[in-house]
């Protein structure tokens, strides 16, 4: 099966999954209310940080296995897979024990109503880890058939469990449903696909995987700080109710990332496999062009639709969350720039220069803290926090673009790609600005801007569909 077929199927499955998740999210927000959703947001912060106890081995596995398969080093690829699987499960047990001890120590400093739910993370963390590492194995080996079915069935099973649990037992039932949902993933994968798995750990491979994956992991940890920073600021300065309203922003931004995430999942193993065979700048440039073409065609319409119709949709489906609409509209611009960043980050990683991502993440956090500080001091509420996060994402994109350009592209190629991005961003911003008026559909300026976007996208698509002729060899060492 071709990469295009995999991409179409996986993207379609991602859209279906997100549709199911959207229904689940709407039902849960009505069943649990803003305060309980705020508590769940805080629990997710714990779970997000827990995944970094793998020390970058997951990141290494998803890239090294396809890279080694591309070089036809099958035994080494299997050794990496076995070692990372076993190490991942072992480290999750240590992490769970650490969270347990932390919660015991902090028992008197955490609100009693929240403390019980935080303790549930002791069960949720290892269940989540087991499923995640098996998904990484499937994707690294290009087993997107099983991965696609797992994604859809897991979303349906998750929606059923958490909604039934929340309806009958409130927050306790929701958490129990979440645990059952997390356990469904590894059970389904192991029943659907025979995974060669020996209970042995080659510590030399683990250490090499940590060396390769730890910079990505550290950058990911710093990104988690950045991603959770806005929620932590809101929880501290504005309260759980506002945090619950802000969850609408996070949910909305997730829909913007549906197709870029699907493209990334399918194309990352392919990029590393092709780069293993043909380590030239053309490989990276062609990947960047494909990504940018997809982004320019798909993301702007999604942002515009959200800007134009989100308010009415929330009034109809989530009336308690109307106060979070404006923040969600600002937040989607951050998702727009985050999606743009993904391809250039992958280009940096495939060349084994992932250490640069640590500096980028640190700079992004500093900028986000500065922007959040200004938003709080100016009493801008959750709308100001959303703007601050979007601005930080924009600067992050600029940094990773410049780094990847320096490594891979000629100045001409970089200027052309950057010009496309600037032009589309300005046209998109103009359309969204006009759509703030309730009678946007009667403005001639809106349709003129829309026509300009269509013409621009056609011209950009023609250029970006051409293969690169730049064939500079790039030296890169595997694990």
Most confident of 48-52, 122-126, 316-320, 357-361: 357-361
| Residue whose C-alpha is closest to residue 197's, from 243, 251, 152, 141 | 141
Tell me the mean pLDDT in the region 22-43. 82
Given a cut of 60, whether residue 479 has pLDDT beyond it is no
CA atoms within 13 A on the CB side of 209: 32
Please give the mean pLDDT across all residues of the chain. 81
C-alpha R_g of the chain:
22
Instruction: Label residue 342 exposed, middle or buried (CB < 10 Å: 0-12, 13-18, 19+).
Output: buried
How far apart are alpha carbons 39 and 239 in whole angstroms? 11
How far apart are alpha carbons 369 and 377 in whole angstroms? 12
How far apart are alpha carbons 330 and 87 in whole angstroms? 41
| Residue whose C-alpha is closest to residue 272's, from 123, 13, 59 | 59
Tell me the mean pLDDT in the region 378-407. 91
Helix H, strand E, coil C: the string for 154-205 is HHHHHHHHHHHHHHHHHHHHHHHHHHHHHHHHHHHHHHHCCCCCCCCCCHHH
Given a cut of 50, whether residue 303 has pLDDT beyond it is yes
Q: How does pLDDT run across 467-476, given as a tens digit for each residue? A: 776 655 555 5
Q: How does pLDDT run across 249-294, given as a tens digit for each residue? A: 888 887 787 777 777 777 777 777 777 676 677 777 887 888 788 8
- Length of the chain as a residue count: 479
Residue 153: per-residue pLDDT: 92
Residue 365: per-residue pLDDT: 93
The pair of three-digit structure tokens given for residue 421, joined into one six-digit string:
């991005």
**Weakest mean pLDDT among 106-115, 169-178, 220-229:** 106-115
Give the three-state DSSP class for 270: helix
Prediction pTM value: 0.70
Give the three-state DSSP class for 440: helix
Confidence band for 388, pLDDT divided at 50, 70 and 90: very high
CA 377 remoteness from chain centre: 30
Q: Are residues 175 and 46 in contact, defined by beta-carbon separation less than 8 angstroms?
A: no
More confident residue, 370 or 48: 370
Residue 478: per-residue pLDDT: 46
């Amino acid at each position: 099966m071709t990469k295009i077929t995999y991409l179409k199927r996986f993207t379609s499955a991602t859209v279906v999954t997100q549709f199911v998740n959207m229904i689940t999210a709407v039902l849960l927000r009505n069943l649990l209310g803003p305060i309980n959703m705020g508590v769940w947001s805080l629990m997710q912060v714990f779970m997000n940080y827990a995944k970094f106890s793998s020390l970058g081995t997951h990141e290494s596995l998803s890239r090294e296995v396809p890279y080694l398969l591309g070089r036809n080093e099958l035994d080494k690829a299997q050794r990496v897979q076995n070692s990372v699987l076993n190490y991942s499960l072992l480290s999750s047990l240590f992490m769970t024990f650490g969270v347990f001890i932390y919660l015991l120590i902090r028992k008197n400093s955490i609100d009693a109503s929240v403390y019980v739910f935080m303790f549930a993370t002791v069960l949720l963390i290892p269940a989540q880890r087991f499923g995640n590492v098996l998904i990484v194995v499937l994707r690294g080996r290009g087993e997107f058939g099983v991965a696609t079915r797992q994604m859809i069935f897991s979303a349906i099973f998750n929606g059923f469990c958490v909604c039934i649990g929340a309806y009958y037992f409130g927050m306790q039932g929701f958490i129990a449903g979440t645990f059952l949902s997390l356990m469904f993933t590894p059970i389904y994968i192991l029943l659907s696909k025979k995974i060669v798995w020996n209970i042995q750990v080659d510590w030399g491979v683990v250490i090499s995987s940590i060396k390769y994956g730890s910079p990505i992991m550290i950058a990911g940890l710093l990104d988690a700080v950045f991603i959770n920073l806005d929620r932590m600021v809101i929880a501290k300065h504005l309260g759980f109710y506002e945090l619950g309203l802000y969850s609408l922003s996070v949910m909305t931004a997730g829909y913007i990332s549906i197709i870029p995430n699907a493209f990334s999942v399918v194309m990352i193993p392919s990029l590393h496999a092709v780069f293993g065979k043909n380590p030239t700048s053309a490989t990276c440039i062609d990947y960047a062009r494909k990504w940018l073409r997809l982004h320019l065609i798909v993301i702007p319409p999604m942002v515009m639709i959200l800007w134009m119709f989100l308010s009415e949709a929330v009034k109809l489906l989530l009336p308690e969350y109307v106060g979070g609409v404006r923040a969600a509209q600002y937040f989607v611009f951050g998702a727009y720039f985050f999606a743009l960043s993904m391809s250039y980050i992958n280009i940096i990683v495939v060349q084994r220069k992932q250490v640069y991502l640590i500096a980028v993440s640190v700079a992004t956090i500093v900028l986000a803290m500065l922007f959040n500080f200004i938003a709080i001091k100016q009493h801008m509420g959750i709308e100001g926090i959303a703007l601050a996060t979007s601005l930080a994402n924009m600067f992050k994109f600029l940094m990773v673009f410049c780094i990847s350009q320096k490594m891979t592209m000629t100045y001409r190629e970089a200027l052309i790609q950057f010009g496309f991005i600037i032009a589309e961003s300005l046209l998109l911003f103009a359309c969204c600005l006009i759509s703030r008026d309730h009678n946007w559909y009667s403005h001639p300026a809106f349709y003129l801007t829309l026509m300009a976007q269509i013409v621009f996208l056609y011209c950009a698509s023609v250029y970006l569909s051409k293969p690169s002729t730049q064939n500079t060899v790039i030296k890169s060492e595997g694990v």
